[in-house]
Structure 1
Amino acid sequence: MLRAEMDALPIQEQTGLSYASENAGVMHACGHDGIVASALVLARILAEEGEVFPVRMRFLFEPAEEIGEGAKRMLAAGALDGEPDIFLMFHYAVDQSFGMAVHEGQASAMINGMEIRVHGKSSHWCEAHKGIDSIYAASLVVKALHDLNETYKGKGPCLIGIGTIHGGEYSNIITDLVTLRGNIRAAYEEDYQALDKRLKETLNEIEAKTGTRIELEYPKPAVLPFANDPELTRIAETAGRKIFGEQFLLEGEEQLFLSGDNAYRYFLHTKGLFSVFLAGIPDKGYPLHHPKFQIDEDILPYSLEALYEILSGIDKDM
């Protein structure tokens, strides 16, 4: 089975491309459009070959990956009915140009979204002594988490990031609530747990210093890491070196990208492989989730060849 995620993001596209999003405030800023296009072409190729191609394939087009709900819903709908032997997924990354990478062993990070609510006390600013400034306390939270990222040395890469801050209604009112939303990411669970502990300690210290009340909530369970199957990794390495030559990278866990994916739910049921195709545009690239994000389309036919070779290798070696 091959999974292709297909959801977009709440971003106003600024690429100016001929195929840019037609919907305001909605954009494919994570390469999912390229993934879907590649999966559809691969499906057409295999369908045209019919019985000549010996691997029986199921294609899974998954919505809601970005919010961590897609795999759960697909499994509930019977995506793994029939118990497929192998689960395949791939992504287009833009941190490097033209190539392919596969991780030996662990291939994703442990991540979770969080919400921090800083409760203060409202007052007019002319009577500031009667209020408790939640915006000030929230600014201390942001700085403390930045400092934590700079100073914490774990087993592997890890961080805590804040993505949104909301608070205040009017310029002359001390607001009584600021809400921060962000995420915690770690290559290893021990670092995830350590950061969670440090985070709670930090919030307690800021509470004591500012007189605020601070709540921390993880609205959903953590997205767990998954690992590439060793035999599938060898097959992918053979395919990658055939198609990309020296531009194929076999990476270790120390080079793990701090991304997570709800696809771990599939890996709990069957062995799997996550391949990454390097599609950065030299001197012109923008990162994932940027309004000008785009992939180098020249990678598309090569990624199709590599996926086809992986499937052929599965037939020969497994």
Structure 2
Amino acid sequence: MNFRDIAEQNENWIIEQRRYFHAHPELSFEEKNTTHEIGKCLEEMGLTPHYYPDYNGLWAIIKGGKSTPGSKTVALRADIDALPVEEHTGLTFCSQNPGVMHACGHDCHIAMLLGGIRMLMAKKEDLKGNVKIIFQAAEESCHGAQYYVGHGFLDDVDAIYGTHIWGELDAPYMNFETGPRMASCDNFRIEVEGVSSHGSTPHQGVDAILTAAYIITEIQAIVSRMNNPLNPLVVTVGKIEGGQRFNILADKVVLEGTTRTHSPEMRKKTEPLLRRIAENTADSMGAKATLTFEYFPAPIINEHEDLVLIARNAAAKMYGTDCLKPFPKMMISEDFAYYMEKVPGVFGLIGSQNKSLGITAKNHNDHYTVDESVLKRGAAMYAQFAYDFLEGSSK
């Protein structure tokens, strides 16, 4: 089975879906209309959408005509939320919701998965297993996927497939590689407590700002001296709040930041290292530091070579081996990792950049848009991967 021609036949419909959802973006945890409209599309295809009583997003299942009680189930995922960005693309179908934009391409993910489902439904009787579909809310929150895992979506799933449309990869290329692809994302807050005094008599107080500055400097030793230099690691302080007035020694400073790594082992070490450095540095200054550390997505690691091979072969079958391009691993994160911690998974990229068309803005930019000719390929990949996984699992 080759879905290339079916994808061509569905291209206009897929683009139409993308444009609708692009014009009607909704923020994380607010995707009510998006959820409703996706549900309507699924019903029109003959599927039963399943909703959550206290959460946006929805799921459905395609029961293959050749499935048996022992058949496998493969899951396909698309995220559906937008960003708090004022759009400046000038598109005729630009956002109708002021201050909200599909600046990360999730409108494309919705359209591609809907297109893939449409193709799979056309070949439903040939499927040798089941295809479970999740349209996920709140990816941009870093942990939207966690809800669905916790509520049993993956309990009967054998593998999961996901992709992200990507503004740094040229259209119409795709990327599926083994090994680390994206980093973990864990966030921290350090509260530094000092003693206030007049700015002219600093010896009578404990300077929380100076202490915080030393902490910021010292925690960089985690990256430069406590981490294997062959392992990418980021420890970033992105926000500082403190001080009351120019002539008052600050008694409180709050630091907020993020840590990123591809190494599950280093990820476990980072929190205790941060805590030790923050507390000891503050103590040396006569201050107190309290660390709050929150774990979010683990690294995206394509460690199941069999699934990567299915994805690569699916792409090559439809578009030739030249459609696959290498792409460097990144330090951004994706909450698709929550699914991959539960079941085997593969995650890839669909290129959307086309310099000849002036499409060069990157994801999260207020000018971000895509070369829509790639959408049919992304849709075809959803269908082809699912079909080929089930075909191979039945042997």
TM-score normalised by the shorter chain: which range applies?
0.7 to 0.9
Distance (whole Å) between structure 2 residues aligned to residue 144 and residue 28 of structure 1: 38
Distance (whole Å) between structure 1 residues aligned to residue 107 and residue 372 of structure 2: 11
Q: Is contact 1:100-1:244 (8 Å) kept?
A: no
Q: Which moved more, 1:265-274 or 1:142-151?
A: 142-151
The structure 1 residue matched to 2:292, chosen from 205, 217, 234, is 217
Distance (whole Å) between structure 2 residues aligned to residue 29 and residue 132 of structure 1: 44
Matches within 5 A, 1:221-300: 223=298, 225-242=300-317, 243=319, 245-249=321-325, 255-282=328-355, 285-300=360-375
The structure 1 residue matched to 2:195, chosen from 121, 129, 142, is 121
Partner deviation per Cα, 1:26-67 (whole Å, 9 max, x = no partner) = 333332222112112222333344435555322201112233
Q: Partner residue of 1:304?
A: 379
Matches within 5 A, 1:7-156: 7-52=81-126, 56-81=130-155, 83-98=156-171, 99-145=173-219, 149=223, 153-156=228-231
Q: Which runs of 5+ in 1 are unaligned?
A: none
Distance (whole Å) between structure 2 residues aligned to residue 281 and residue 127 of structure 1: 60
What is the total number of aligned residue pairs between the two structures?
A: 314
Partner deviation per Cα, 1:292-315 (whole Å, 9 max, x = no partner) = 444443322222233333233224
Give the secondary-structure state (helix, strand or coil) at the position aligned to 1:249: coil
Residue 114 (structure 1) shift: 1.2
Q: Which moved more, 1:59-68 or 1:161-170?
A: 161-170
Distance (whole Å) between structure 2 residues aligned to residue 143 and residue 292 of structure 1: 35
Q: Which moved more, 1:285-294 or 1:301-310?
A: 285-294
Q: Is contact 1:100-1:249 (8 Å) kept?
A: yes
2:51 maps to 1:5: no
Residue 109 (structure 1) shift: 3.1
Distance (whole Å) between structure 2 residues aligned to residue 4 and residue 193 of structure 1: 29
Q: Is contact 1:109-1:224 (8 Å) kept?
A: yes
2:248 maps to 1:159: no
Q: Is contact 2:261-2:299 (8 Å) kept?
A: no
Residue 187 (structure 1) shift: 1.0
Q: Is contact 1:241-1:248 (8 Å) kept?
A: yes
Distance (whole Å) between structure 2 residues aligned to residue 76 and residue 295 of structure 1: 33
Partner deviation per Cα, 1:132-184 (whole Å, 9 max, x = no partner) = 33333334444445575466543422211223333345444443222222211
Distance (whole Å) between structure 1 residues aligned to residue 197 and residue 120 of structure 2: 67
Distance (whole Å) between structure 1 residues aligned to residue 215 and residue 85 of structure 2: 26
Partner deviation per Cα, 1:253-289 (whole Å, 9 max, x = no partner) = xx43234333333334432221211223448634443
What letter corresponds to residue 322 of structure 2 in structure 1? E
Residue 72 (structure 1) shift: 2.5
CA distance 1:210–1:27, shift in 2 (3 Å): farther
Distance (whole Å) between structure 1 residues aligned to residue 286 and residue 373 of structure 2: 56
Distance (whole Å) between structure 2 residues aligned to residue 132 and residue 294 of structure 1: 51
What letter corresponds to residue 280 of structure 1 in structure 2? Q
Q: Which runs of 5+ in 2 are unaligned?
A: 1-74
Q: Partner residue of 2:21?
A: none
Q: Is contact 2:359-2:370 (8 Å) kept?
A: no
Partner deviation per Cα, 1:75-114 (whole Å, 9 max, x = no partner) = 3434235x12321111122222121111214444333111
CA distance 1:200–1:126, shift in 2 (3 Å): same
What letter corresponds to residue 333 of structure 2 in structure 1? G
Give the secondary-structure state (helix, strand or coil) at the position aligned to 2:134: strand
Q: Is contact 1:104-1:250 (8 Å) kept?
A: no
Residue 214 (structure 1) shift: 1.8
Q: Is contact 2:297-2:333 (8 Å) kept?
A: no
Give the secondary-structure state (helix, strand or coil) at the position aligned to 2:309: helix
Residue 185 (structure 1) shift: 1.3
What letter corresponds to residue 159 of structure 1 in structure 2? V
Residue 4 (structure 1) shift: 0.9
Q: Partner residue of 1:199?
A: 274
Larger radius of gyration: 2
CA distance 1:298–1:125, shift in 2 (3 Å): farther
Give the secondary-structure state (helix, strand or coil) at the position aligned to 2:235: strand
